[in-house]
């Protein structure tokens, strides 16, 4: 009852004309950046981040979250019609979605994708709404010792679930933690690793780093090979799915939703993994697994549902624990911090309008996305007819505006360029950059909780293991390491890329 009352309050906030407008701008921009290769939700959020500085915190987070889940909808359109994933999570949708389009069934693929996304997106918001307040209440009891154990667990999970081998991921995590130590020491005010440059007192710019590593590096990768593409254009009438399409999609959507929600909770498990998992499950349980890859509706419905379900549930670790599960939610965390809102267990108590306003806006935004995506599909596809040489400066100039707007510093533009080149090289050599970015975000708090815990306990390391919360976190950590070690011992672990090739 209390939840419904709070949701009602949230709806009153989300349905104000201004917040509706911001939500609309967010989902529209999100769809656009999802459609266009080379920008994605990270770039999309970063670009509009400076614009939100003058807004109230709730409006800002409503708009930025709209970009995040809007991009997931947009990515599927180009996967189905062009065989080009607008963002990484839509790669799986290409397999059967494009084959359906080639057989003249682009319409049903788009409709099922949109409806599946809507169902999964809404379900994940329900989970967020029901689960987050209870978890936050429990998390209010944790101290610095438990907080450190929790973050250690998050980083260990991150190292094992990464798409790269552990030996490549652990140095990336440590590099992220090392970068996080740049700037003023939060306890003593001592300047660390600033090399005499006052601009680094607040640390290395997070926005230029993220835009460089993910946005610019993707543009540079795309500059290697840009082939001309032919879009398949569905007519409005062909959008109507058959009854059998709806029937065959119901199960995959339900299973994809469940997979997506579960994967969203785990730090570092990107949308990509949940979509591949959903596809694998559908293929495994299908009576006709041999037909997957030739245009099965289940191959579109499941992964698209998983993709959008992950979006909602990935907000749980951010809003309740203050731990961003993926780089996009790390940017949302930056936006909240800029507005003086600290994500974590106290968020729901201290800023209920932000939490419930966001939840309510996500229901509204999901409805907007279904309405937007189907009739406007032709317009979005036509965007891809624009030659890539025009898109490159456009995306880069928008990124420059976003990066410069945060601190009004040209050093951030140079940092973006440098991280772009570093990101390009890391991509080429198959290093995963998400653990690096998440470690940068967690590093500061991890050090603070570590030092605070040692100070409170007067140097006793038992503070990290004595409480039941710590024992749960560290127990989970030990189990994960043991499972991984066992898998390695019996040779289940995939070999590093260079050995396979």
Q: What pairing do the DSSP bridges indicate for beta strands 183-184 and 191-192?
A: antiparallel
Q: Are residues 173 and 282 in contact, defined by beta-carbon separation less than 8 angstroms? A: no
List, in sequence order, the alpha helices (H) in 162-204: 166-180
* Nearest-5° Cα angle at 387, 381 to 393: 110
Q: Which of 377, 74, 418 lies closest to 232, judged by CA?
A: 377
CA distance 365 to 19: 11
Task: Kindly identify the residues of this chain, within the stretch 442-471, that bind other proteins according to CB under 8 A.
Answer: 447, 450-451, 454-455, 457-459
Kindly tell me which residue out of 431, 464, 469, 473 binds other proteins, with binding defined by CB under 8 A: 431
Kindly tell me which residue out of 383, 405, 480, 493 binds other proteins, with binding defined by CB under 8 A: 405
Output the smallest distance, CB 346 to other proteins, in A: 25
Kindly tell me which residue out of 371, 379, 393, 478 binds other proteins, with binding defined by CB under 8 A: 393
Q: Which of 133, 150, 157 lies closest to 469, judged by CA?
A: 150
Closest to other proteins by CB, 143 vs 378, is: 143
CA–CA distances in Å: residue 334 to residues 42, 181, 295, 330, 442: 12, 17, 41, 6, 12
Output the smallest distance, CB 66 to other proteins, in A: 16
Kindly tell me which residue out of 2, 197, 224, 243 binds other proteins, with binding defined by CB under 8 A: 224
Interface with other proteins includes 392 (CB under 8 A)? Answer: yes
Interface with other proteins includes 418 (CB under 8 A)? Answer: yes
83 Ramachandran zone, left/alpha/beta (phi>0; psi -120 to 50): left
Interface with other proteins includes 389 (CB under 8 A)? Answer: yes
Closest to other proteins by CB, 233 vs 428, is: 428
Output the smallest distance, CB 426 to other proteins, in A: 8
Output the smallest distance, CB 380 to other proteins, in A: 21
* Cα 312 → chain centroid: 10
**Cβ neighbour number for residue 345 with a 10 Å cutoff:** 22
Q: Give me the residue label for tokens 């090392």.
A: 178
Task: Kindly identify the residues of this chain, within the stretch 11-50, that bind other proteins according to CB under 8 A.
Answer: 50
Interface with other proteins includes 230 (CB under 8 A)? Answer: no
Q: Are residues 274 and 264 in contact, defined by beta-carbon separation less than 8 angstroms? A: yes
Please give the span between the terminal C-alpha atoms of the chain, in angstroms, as a whole number: 57
Task: Kindly identify the residues of this chain, within the stretch 170-209, that bind other proteins according to CB under 8 A.
Answer: 170-171, 174-175, 177-178, 181, 185, 187-188, 190, 192-193
- Chain residues binding other proteins by CB under 8 A are 50-51, 54, 167-168, 170-171, 174-175, 177-178, 181, 185, 187-188, 190, 192-193, 216, 219-220, 223-227, 387-390, 392-393, 396-398, 400-402, 404-405, 408, 410-411, 413-414, 416-418, 420-421, 424-426, 428-431, 447, 450-451, 454-455, 457-459, 496-499, 501
């Amino acid at each position: 009852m209390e939840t419904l009352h709070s949701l009602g309050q949230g709806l009153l906030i989300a349905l104000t004309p201004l917040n509706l407008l911001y939500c609309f701008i967010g989902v529209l921009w999100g769809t656009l950046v999802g459609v266009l290769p080379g920008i994605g939700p990270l770039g999309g959020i970063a670009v509009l981040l400076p614009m939100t500085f003058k807004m109230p915190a709730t409006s800002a987070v409503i708009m930025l979250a709209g970009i995040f889940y809007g991009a997931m909808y947009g990515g599927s359109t180009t996967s189905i019609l062009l065989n080009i994933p607008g963002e990484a999570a839509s790669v799986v949708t290409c397999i059967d979605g494009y084959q359906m389009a080639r057989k003249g069934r682009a319409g049903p693929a788009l409709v099922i994708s949109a409806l599946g996304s809507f169902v999964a997106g809404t379900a994940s918001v329900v989970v967020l709404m029901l689960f987050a307040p209870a978890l936050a209440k429990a998390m209010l009891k944790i101290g610095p010792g438990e907080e450190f154990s929790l973050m250690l667990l998050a980083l260990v999970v991150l190292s094992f679930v990464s798409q790269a081998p552990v030996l490549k991921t652990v140095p990336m995590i440590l590099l992220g933690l090392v970068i996080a130590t740049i700037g003023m020491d939060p306890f003593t005010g001592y300047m660390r690793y600033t090399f005499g440059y006052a601009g680094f007192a607040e640390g290395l710019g997070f926005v230029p780093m993220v835009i460089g590593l993910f946005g610019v590096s993707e543009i540079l990768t795309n500059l290697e090979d840009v082939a001309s593409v032919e879009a398949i254009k569905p007519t409005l009438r062909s959008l109507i799915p058959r009854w059998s399409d709806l029937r065959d999609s119901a199960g995959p959507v339900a299973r994809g939703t469940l997979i997506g929600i579960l994967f969203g909770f785990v730090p570092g498990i990107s949308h990509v993994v949940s979509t591949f998992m959903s596809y694998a499950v559908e293929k495994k349980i299908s009576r006709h697994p041999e037909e997957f890859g030739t245009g099965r509706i289940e191959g579109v419905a499941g992964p698209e549902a998983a993709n959008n379900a992950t979006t909602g549930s990935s907000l749980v670790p951010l809003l309740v624990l203050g731990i961003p599960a993926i780089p996009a939610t790390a940017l949302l965390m930056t936006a909240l911090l800029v507005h003086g809102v600290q994500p974590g267990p106290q968020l729901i108590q201290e800023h209920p309008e932000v939490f419930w306003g966001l939840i309510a806006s996500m229901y509204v935004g999901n409805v907007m996305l279904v309405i937007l995506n189907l009739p406007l599909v032709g317009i979005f596809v036509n965007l891809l007819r624009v030659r890539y040489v025009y898109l490159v400066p456009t995306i880069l100039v928008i990124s420059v505006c976003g990066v410069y707007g945060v601190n009004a510093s040209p050093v951030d533009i140079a940092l973006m360029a440098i991280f772009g080149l570093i990101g390009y090289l890391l991509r080429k050599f198959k290093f995963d950059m998400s653990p690096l970015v998440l470690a940068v975000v967690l590093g500061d708090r991890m050090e603070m909780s570590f030092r605070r815990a040692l100070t409170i306990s007067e140097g006793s390391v038992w503070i990290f293991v004595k409480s039941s919360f710590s024992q749960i976190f560290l127990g989970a950590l030990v189990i994960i390491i043991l499972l991984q070690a066992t898998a390695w011992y019996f040779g289940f672990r995939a070999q590093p890329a260079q050995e396979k090739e």
